[in-house]
Amino acid sequence: MRIAILLFLIFTSAFAFEFEETEKSLFFQGKLANVNSSSLFNQNNILSLNKRYADFRGYYGFKVTSDNEKAMLYLRNKAEVLRGDAEKNQEITIDEGYLTLTPLEELYIDVGKKNFKYGAFHGFTTFNLFEKGNPLINEDNYFKESATITKFFGENASTALSVIKRDKNYKADAIWKGSFSISKTDTNLYAFMKNEDRAIGFDVSQIKGESIKLKLGSVYYVRKGSFKLENYTLTPQQEKALKVLSSIEYSSVSGLNFIVEYLHNTAGLSKNQINQYYNYAQVNPFFGMQSNGFYDFLNLNKNYLFFMVYKKNIYNKLDLSLSSYLNLEDNGLMIISETKYKITNSMSGKIRLIIPAGKQETEFRRFYKQSILLSLEYVF
Amino acid sequence: MFRFIFLLLFTLNALANSDILKKVDDYRGFSGSFEMKVKVLDYDIDGKELEQIEFKVLVKNAGVSFLEYKFPKLDKGKMLLMKDENIWFYSTDISKPLRISPNQRLLGNVSNADVAHANFSYDYYSKIISEKADVITLELNAKRESVMYGKIILKISAIDYKPISGEFFAATGKLLKTANYTKFTTGKLAKMEIYDGILKNKKTVIEYSAYKERQVPDYYFNPEYLPRLK
pLDDT digits 0-9 by tens, A80-106: 898 877 677 888 888 889 999 999 989
* pLDDT, tens only, A137-176: 454 556 788 999 999 999 999 999 999 887 777 778 898 9
pLDDT given at position A44: 40
- The nearest alpha carbon in chain B to A179 belongs to B224
Nearest CA of chain B to the CA of A143: how many Å? 11
C-beta atoms of A212 and B76 within 8 A: no
Whether pLDDT at A344 is above 80: yes
- Given A105, A158, A160, which is nearest B217 (Cβ)? A105
C-beta atoms of B103 and A141 within 8 A: no
Contacts of A211 in chain B (CB under 8 A): 101-103
Q: Comparing C-alpha atoms, which of A221, A272, A214, A223 is closest to residue A245?
A: A214
pLDDT given at position A114: 87
The sign of the CA dihedral A181, A182, A186, A190 is negative
Contacts of A313 in chain B (CB under 8 A): 105, 108
Indicate if ipTM > 0.90. Answer: no
What part of B 22-81 touches A (C-beta under 8 Å)?
42, 50-52, 64, 71-74, 76-77
pLDDT given at position A45: 45
- Given A117, A141, A210, which is nearest B101 (Cβ)? A210
Tell me the count of A-B CB pairs closer than 8 A.
99
C-beta atoms of A154 and B103 within 8 A: no
Substitution target in B33, B112, B172, B219 with the highest count of A β-carbons within 10 Å is B219
Contacts of B85 in chain A (CB under 8 A): 184
For residue B192, list its beta bridge partners.
B181, B206
C-beta atoms of A184 and B72 within 8 A: no
C-alpha pair distances (Å), B36 with each of A323, A377, B66, B83:
39, 30, 11, 18
pLDDT given at position A138: 52
* Lowest mean pLDDT segment, chosen from A18-22, A40-44, A127-131: A40-44
C-alpha pair distances (Å), A235 with each of A160, A232, B7, B76:
35, 9, 82, 48
- The nearest alpha carbon in chain B to A153 belongs to B219
Nearest CA of chain B to the CA of A303: how many Å? 25
pLDDT given at position B169: 93
* Lowest mean pLDDT segment, chosen from A128-132, A168-172, A258-262, A295-299: A128-132
What part of B 96-125 touches A (C-beta under 8 Å)?
96, 98-106, 108
Nearest CA of chain B to the CA of A41: how many Å? 33
C-alpha pair distances (Å), A215 with each of A234, A303, A323, A379, B41:
36, 17, 18, 34, 36
Substitution target in B40, B74, B228 with the highest count of A β-carbons within 10 Å is B74
| Residue-level pLDDT, tens digit, chain B, 230 residues | 556 555 544 544 554 577 899 999 999 888 889 999 999 998 888 888 888 899 999 999 888 999 999 999 888 888 999 888 888 989 887 777 888 887 776 555 566 666 766 688 888 999 999 999 899 999 999 998 878 889 999 999 999 999 999 999 998 999 989 999 999 999 999 999 999 888 888 899 999 999 999 988 999 999 999 988 87
Whether pLDDT at A245 is above 70: yes
Cα distance between residue A131 and residue A212, in whole Å? 27
Percent of chain A topping pLDDT 70: 82
Residue type, B154: L
pLDDT given at position B12: 44
Of A228-232, A285-289, B65-69, give the range with the top mean pLDDT.
B65-69
Compute the average pLDDT of residues A222-242. Answer: 69
- The nearest alpha carbon in chain A to B221 belongs to A155
Nearest CA of chain B to the CA of A362: how many Å? 29
C-beta atoms of B101 and A213 within 8 A: yes
- Given B52, B99, B219, which is nearest A152 (Cβ)? B219
Nearest CA of chain A to the CA of B173: how many Å? 17
A175 near A144, Cβ under 8 Å?
no
- Given A253, A312, A342, which is nearest B103 (Cβ)? A253
Residue type, B16: A
Confidence category of residue A228, pLDDT binned at 50, 70, 90: low
Q: Which residue has the higher pLDDT, B220 or A15?
A: B220
The pTM for the full model equals: 0.85
A218 near A204, Cβ under 8 Å?
no
Compute the average pLDDT of residues A195-204. Answer: 87
Nearest CA of chain A to the CA of B105: how many Å? 7
Residue A86 has a CB neighbour count (10 Å cut-off) of 10
Positions of E strands within chain A? 17-33, 52-66, 71-84, 88-104, 107-115, 143-153, 157-165, 172-182, 185-194, 197-208, 212-228, 233-251, 256-265, 303-314, 318-327, 333-342, 347-357, 371-379
Nearest CA of chain B to the CA of A239: how many Å? 29
Whether pLDDT at A252 is above 80: yes
Confidence category of residue A281, pLDDT binned at 50, 70, 90: confident
- Given A155, A211, A253, which is nearest B221 (Cβ)? A155
pLDDT given at position B188: 93
Nearest CA of chain B to the CA of A106: how many Å? 7
Of A121-135, A222-236, A267-281, give the range with the top mean pLDDT.
A267-281
Confidence category of residue A38, pLDDT binned at 50, 70, 90: very low
C-beta atoms of B101 and A207 within 8 A: yes
C-beta atoms of B95 and A117 within 8 A: yes
Contacts of B102 in chain A (CB under 8 A): 207, 210-211
Nearest CA of chain B to the CA of A270: how many Å? 32
- Given A153, A209, A316, which is nearest B51 (Cβ)? A316
Cα distance between residue B63 and residue B218, in whole Å? 13
Contacts of B105 in chain A (CB under 8 A): 255, 313
Whether pLDDT at A301 is above 70: yes
